[in-house]
A and B are shown apart, each in its own frame.
Chain A
Amino acid sequence: MATEHEQTSVSANDNIGTADTSYRHHDIDLDLQTQQQNQIETEVALTQPLISEKIPLVQLQNEYASDDKIYQDKVSELIKRYKYIRRTRRDGNCFYRAFAFGYLERNLNNQNELERFRQLTNDLKDQLVKLGYLEFTVEDVRDIVLEIIDNIRKDGSETTLIENLCSSNYSDYVVAYLRLFTSAYLQINREFFENFIEDGKSVKLFCNTEVEPMARESDNIHIIALTKAAGVPLRVIYMDRSEQSTLTTHDFAAHDDEPSETFQPMITMLYRPGHYDLLYED
């Protein structure tokens, strides 16, 4: 990150003695940081599957202290509406991975919907090339995603879905491509989204630093863009420490003119600060 450079960079005016030390610190800092990060990633990978099996939602109660009234109340309310949860790995990609899994799981046997999504997946490449992206690297990612969609269309089984989305090489391709979906939509609609980006960053810069690189976390802006780009209605239930005992529901419509009264989500997620999981009514 640029801040690392700013903290430890060498100024030409430093006298050689101190400059040497700060150069070594810079070197060590960067190495250490990478090492630490790799360590954390390995630990996370060992203890957290990319996507878990369906877990009874009542187990969520054990995640919070029994005397934590705010959270226990919220969990109780959640249990009234939903029965199961699938946990996703905490690796900064959880929103996209949950989206991919939830969407494909819901449409395992819906050939029309899968065909529609396959078409969008295919066409995105040309959109990106028009935006100035390199064709062969985008195709590299797209082709694996097409393969996954085709595998699922062939046998519509949950086993195939899990094989494809829970093994990291295949799964990461889908995450990378959903990030591209999001990025393209933001860029094509840049006049609208410019207003919602902090620090006056351009949409292009935002996409380069906050959307496309792996492990960058997702905010509302990412969710809006992806649900619209993919044409998939999504419901997110927010659970946090705020005092109100009711859960906040946020519906993301697939199309602009959808009336809210008739909203039916294709995917439902639970959002707790920094993390998204999948929710199921049955």
Chain B
Amino acid sequence: MSASSGANKRLITEIQKLSVLAAPDSSVKFLLDKSPLDDPAAAASRPGASSGTSHVILGRILPSSSPYNQAAFQIEIKLPAEFPFKPPEVAFVTHIYHPNVDDKGKICVDLLNSNDSWKPTTSLVDVVKAVVDLIDHPKIDHALNADIANEYTNNRNEFDRKALASVKEKGLSRK
């Protein structure tokens, strides 16, 4: 069905553009680990209300800010059946010690808020950029983890120590 090739074309292009973020001169670093294109049969079924399929993309972000710039952190991008009319769901698979990520790996990014900002023309590269931006520039006012937010503001040395320890322990390779 032609609409399916339309949706597939979008998926293919989205993944191509995500792959390009691995280049050394890319402004935002992202390493694609797993995508629906790895399995041609699965990729053929498009995300769509009728098929009820959702596609999952896994990849590692490489933040630039300290201490997160010492490791990579894998995130899961799940495209719902209604994509692109509903936003993708993004969660951290790798544990990260950060005020804006909760202990389940949930993150709150404005761009993905379906009430306000998500538009069908937003790309997954935009999404990844927004996630990396949030990691590199924590938003304390909108923290998802109160304890860490507190510590970040009132006991920065302790935060730095714990964040670094967590990065060394849980962080993945940046290659």
Contact = CB atoms under 8 A, between A and B. Distances in A.
A214 B102 CA distance: 28
Contacts of A176: 84-85, 120-121
Nearest to A133: B121
Contacts of B147: 16, 19-20
Main secondary structure of the interface of A (DSSP, over half): helix
B122 interface: yes
Given A20-B146, A137-B121, A12 B140 contact: yes
Nearest to B16: A136
Interface in A133-187: 133-134, 136-138, 140-141, 143-144, 147, 167-170, 172-173, 176, 180
A52 interface: no
Interface in B34-50: 48-50
Interface in A180-202: 180
Nearest to A150: B2
A168 B52 CA distance: 13
B115 interface: yes
A22 interface: yes
B10 A23 contact: no
B116 interface: yes
Contact of A26 (B85, B114, B116, B144): B144
A121 to B, nearest CB: 14
Contacts of A133: 121
A223 B42 CA distance: 41
B121 A212 contact: yes
A217 B122 CA distance: 20
A147 B6 contact: yes
Contacts of A167: 50
Interface stretch (A1-9, A79-87, A265-273): A1-9
B13 interface: yes
B58 interface: no
Given A10-B146, A23-B144, A214-B120, A137 B84 contact: yes
Given A141-B121, A213-B117, A172 B85 contact: yes
B150 A144 contact: no
Given A141-B121, A180-B121, 8 more contacts: A23-B146, A136-B17, A136-B123, A137-B123, A140-B13, A208-B117, A213-B115, A214-B85
